[in-house]
Chain A
């Protein structure tokens, strides 16, 4: 069998840490090959080795049958390996064609070049207008620009790093059509992801890494999503299910809330209405930057709202600040961990004090009882399995997953009657995400109400009984999942753009 790229026994260490330990994988021509693993499993290191930005300590590679050891990314590109990064490298103030020409060597921007762009765009279904300014484009369109830029180098292997993490379902299925066309045309694809359903849908082979080691080379369709996830995290996942959906009376409602954004690049919220019942989990889906941050500020109480727009347990809470809202048993977990939900340069114990409930054991007359704070911090650390050497560890030195578990725990030990949470598992490893989801479900099962704002549609679909979509500052009414389903959500997410 002729492989396009053969990777044999690659090892790369940083000090004591083996980021890649004896990893081998082979990519066949015209194949979409998944590279699966959690954060820190060694995916990026391996990709950097392939792309020439890191030299392996040991091991060898063969490219199209010949020994291959790229000195730098330029070298890799010369030989036909291209990469689309998770974070795009585009100049927002330049047009699409200007951006593309800047990324290529030895070409000039003329009519001929523009035609080339249009040709590629038609051939692979990558809908793009070469004259548009990149700053005006949606995330999906920006990704198409990056892909076209790579394709114009006529690569034989395209590396894609988490390509779907920012796309709507519609954009994802468009991308998959493009990827299949590419593969059929002879360009193999190394597809890095942790979204298992997608991998099962589009990839014909998968390599799973964990802690720098090769766990398995397999055909993803031979395994269930759960099996793949368990291989990835190395332990059993607990199936998520609401044991007891027992919704009660209406506890929280937003009525006709509008807010002009102070920020030039902010989103104005228009006429948002929503109600949440006791014991229910309500989800707000939508692509980032459609008003989620602005809405969260209002819900937390960092900005006050006009009278009559926010009510909790029958009372108007629009002009209360976050501390006053907590007194009523409303608690919040913001998306941004460092700098918003936690102070980076303070210990976990000090960070406990950000969210103080009524009759707090932690303070009396404003004087802090550090022993009680310590006790509560320890409780959060043990109940929510936060991996930290001590409660004085600075928030910034914890991994994203651990800090998120701490923040979720900090709010949950107060048994909130209403929990509002944004992106509960953003940048969190699959094991921790599973724990957090379980904890949220357990809270709702006990009769509390939860409002989740998330870009991760899978998360919303798994957890929520009632789903709304936020698009360009407007909130849809609840989507009837039985009737309209995913397609409707997808349309709403794209909003007026479609």
Chain B
């Protein structure tokens, strides 16, 4: 028999070990899944392509960073709300609206050159994401509508809105009716920080944000307000914190950062607005935030880990003709095992013989 016994104190060892444990379980389960479905292919070589190859080559590493950057930015925003108990599940939608808003500015100034265009696009992206998240904030604070439902459902609206824009006002006039925007001109493209790759300035901004947010959580009353509201709502009222303000703040920050990430994606690797802009980054960032236990610096690492499953997943698609859902299976398992292993922080497992 196995029994879970509550620990007297949280186990510090397990706080560090449980992510590694989750990773191990994920790899083991993945091994069995591959072993059962693969014919004529060595599981070990698939594993190599999936987990090791992305780290061996500068091209793959650069692609990993390209994918990690938006995950970091979105997850940083989400982590703030999650600490406060504000569950923004629709970062994907805010990402898309931010992408559309920023791109629209870029396309409006299509003939203009200037260093100010990218910042202007970034601001538009942030405002777009904020606006989209503010719908949920308004409904929650005014009518107590659950923000999980609102943000999630608005995601689908956003994706359809993107498609409407690309069929209409934002469509490339000389694009043979393909639902795509014009390709952005140089002033509307993000500066590349690693020449010869697609790694753009978004990565630096993500790292910058993670330190700013880390400081804010640790040293600023706003961070305290968010932590206290999430941990003990009545104590937050006792302290005089306005819980509506906390909801607005959380949703505006997470929406704004998701919108910024959306614009970076359009003005970075894509270089234009296409229907393929949403790539589940908004949902995957939820996993990233939780894997890092909502810690702003931890998010830098967990985003890189999740980016590895993206790059590795693409590689096995190409090399072994495996389905693209491999990536999502891995990410899902990782979160699943991580949440399961977290119980070991508060409980210890005891094996004992049953007495008949």
**Given A340-B234, A345-B231, A346-B227, do A355 and B222 touch, yes or no (CB 8 Å)?**
no
User: A300–B238 contact, CB under 8 A?
Assistant: yes
Per the bound structure, the CA–CA distance linking A332 and B237 in Å amounts to 12
For B224, what are the chain A residues with a Cβ–Cβ distance below 8 Å? 350, 353, 368
A210 to B3, CA, bound (A): 35
A364-381: which residues lie under 8 A (CB-CB) from chain B?
Answer: 366-368, 370
Is A434 in the interface zone, CB < 8 Å from B?
no
Q: Are B220 and A343 in contact (CB under 8 A)?
A: no
A234 to B1, CA, bound (A): 46
A367 contacts which of B219, B231, B234 (Cβ < 8 Å)? B219
- Main DSSP-derived SS at the B contact region: helix
B211-226: CB near A (< 8 Å → 1, else 0) gives: 0000000011110100
Residues 296 to 345 of chain A near chain B (Cβ within 8 Å): 300-302, 321-326, 332, 334, 336, 339-345
Do A323 and B240 touch (CB < 8 A)?
Answer: yes
Beta-carbon nearest neighbor of B232 in chain A: A343
Known: A363-B221, A368-B221, A368-B224. A344 touches B240 (CB 8 A): no
Residue-wise interface mask of A (351-363) relative to B, using a CB-CB cutoff of 8 A (1 in contact, 0 not): 0011110000001
Query: Is the beta-carbon distance between B219 and A332 smaller than 8 angstroms?
Result: no
Chain B 227-260, CB-CB to A under 8 Å as 1, else 0, gives 1100110110111111000000000000000000
Q: Quick check: B235 and A341 within 8 Å, CB to CB?
A: yes
Which one, B228, B234, B242, contacts A336 given CB within 8 A?
B234
Contact B240 A353, beta carbon cutoff 8 Å? no
- Interface residue from B219, B220, B238 paired with A354 (Cβ < 8 Å): B238
With a CB–CB cut-off of 8 A, which chain A residues contact B219?
Answer: 367-368, 370
Question: What are the residues of chain B within 8 A of A332 when measuring CB–CB?
Answer: 238
Q: How far is the CA of A326 from the CA of B240 in the complex (A)?
A: 9
Question: Given known contacts A343-B228, A344-B231, A355-B238, what 17 new A-B pairs fall within 8 Å (CB)?
Answer: A302-B234, A302-B238, A321-B240, A322-B237, A322-B239, A323-B241, A325-B240, A336-B234, A340-B234, A340-B235, A342-B235, A343-B235, A354-B235, A354-B238, A354-B239, A368-B219, A370-B219
Task: Across the interface, name the chain A residue whose C-beta is closest to B235.
Answer: A343
In the complex formed, the residue of A with least CB distance to B229 is: A343
Query: How far, in whole Å, are A321 and B236 apart by their CA atoms in the complex?
Result: 11
Residues of B within 8 A of A (CB): 9, 219-222, 224, 227-228, 231-232, 234-235, 237-242
Which residue of B has the minimal Cβ distance to A353? B224
Contact B239 A355 (CB under 8 A): yes
CA distance A302 to B238 in the complex (A): 6
A353 to B234, CA, bound (A): 14
Most buried by A among B227, B228, B240: B240
Most central of A301, A332, A342, A346 by chain B CB within 10 Å: A346
7 A-B pairs with CB atoms under 8 Å apart are A324-B240, A342-B232, A342-B235, A343-B231, A343-B235, A354-B238, A367-B219
Kindly identify which residue among B9, B220, B231, B234 contacts A366, using a CB–CB cutoff of 8 Å. B220
3 cross-chain pairs, A with B, having the tightest CB-CB distances, nearest first:
A323-B240, A322-B240, A354-B239
Q: Could you say which residues of chain B place their CB within 8 Å of the CB of A323? A: 239-241
Alpha-carbon gap, A339 to B237, bound state (A): 10
CB-CB under 8 A from A326, the residues of chain B are 240
Minimal Cβ-Cβ distance residue in A for B223 = A368
Of B222, B232, B238, most buried by chain A (CB within 10 Å of CB) is B238
Q: Is the CB of B220 within 8 A of A367?
A: yes
CA distance A387 to B241 in the complex (A): 29
